């Protein structure tokens, strides 16, 4: 368990921040992979992304090819939901956030330096993500152009945590508008 009903909202907040930070730093932590939900043209779109950094300003950073459909969706509707789930601790974290996309700016350049040479090829494909191809090998053909790398930054407005427990679930919400003060919710 991450927390119980007897913990204070301040203690829960500090524990939550610690776990989110671990998710960004530890490739084996369950919060490393999060679900990103955005508004598609006809249907909501849901996909898994990798948490690359959780900043001191509570921003979540992920990487993507700027030609991907998610970038266009986020440019049109920057409101997103993020979902984290820790199966061992039986806790779900839902985040409502605003997305910004960083391409060829200082933040993107700083993070590009962190991408290993082996992984850089993922952002240097000739064709954009989702392009139909005749066979898988075509999807890895390199472009001589610069990388199509971008950083997605998610700035949270609300973070809701649901702790599942046999003795009774516990749910709490933290909002930017309230200075991240916790408010208990009916599970």
The confidence score (pLDDT) of residue 117 equals 86
pLDDT tens, position by position, 94-105: 999 999 999 999
SS3 16: helix
Regarding pTM above 0.75, the answer is: yes
All residue ranges of the chain with pLDDT < 50 are none
Q: Is 131 exposed, middle or buried (0-12, 13-18, 19+ CB in 10 A)?
A: exposed
Output the six-digit token pair for 107. 């933040």
Which domains does the chain show, CATH number per domain? Answer: 9-132+143-185 (2.30.110.10)
CA distance 154 to 151: 10
The DSSP output letter for 142 is B
What is the CB neighbour count within 10 angstroms for residue 43?
A: 7
Output the six-digit token pair for 153. 């930054």
What is the CB neighbour count within 10 angstroms for residue 117?
A: 6
CB contact at 8 A, 137 and 186 = no
């Amino acid at each position: 368990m991450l927390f119980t009903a007897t913990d204070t909202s301040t203690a829960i907040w500090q524990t939550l921040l610690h776990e989110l930070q671990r998710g960004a730093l530890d490739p084996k932590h369950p919060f490393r992979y999060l679900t990103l939900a955005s508004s598609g043209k006809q249907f909501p779109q849901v996909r898994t992304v990798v948490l690359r950094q959780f900043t001191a300003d509570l921003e979540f950073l992920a990487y993507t090819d700027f030609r991907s459909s998610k970038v266009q969706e986020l440019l049109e509707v920057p409101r997103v939901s993020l979902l984290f789930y820790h199966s061992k601790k039986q806790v779900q974290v839902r985040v409502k956030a605003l997305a910004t996309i960083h391409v060829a700016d200082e933040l993107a350049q700083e993070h590009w330096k962190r991408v290993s040479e082996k992984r850089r090829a993922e952002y240097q494909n000739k064709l954009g993500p989702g392009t139909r191809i005749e066979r898988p090998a075509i999807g890895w053909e390199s472009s001589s152009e610069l990388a199509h790398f971008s950083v997605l930054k998610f700035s949270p407005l609300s973070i809701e945590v649901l702790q599942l427990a046999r003795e009774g679930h516990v749910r709490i919400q933290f909002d930017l508008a309230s200075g991240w003060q916790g408010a208990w919710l009916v599970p």
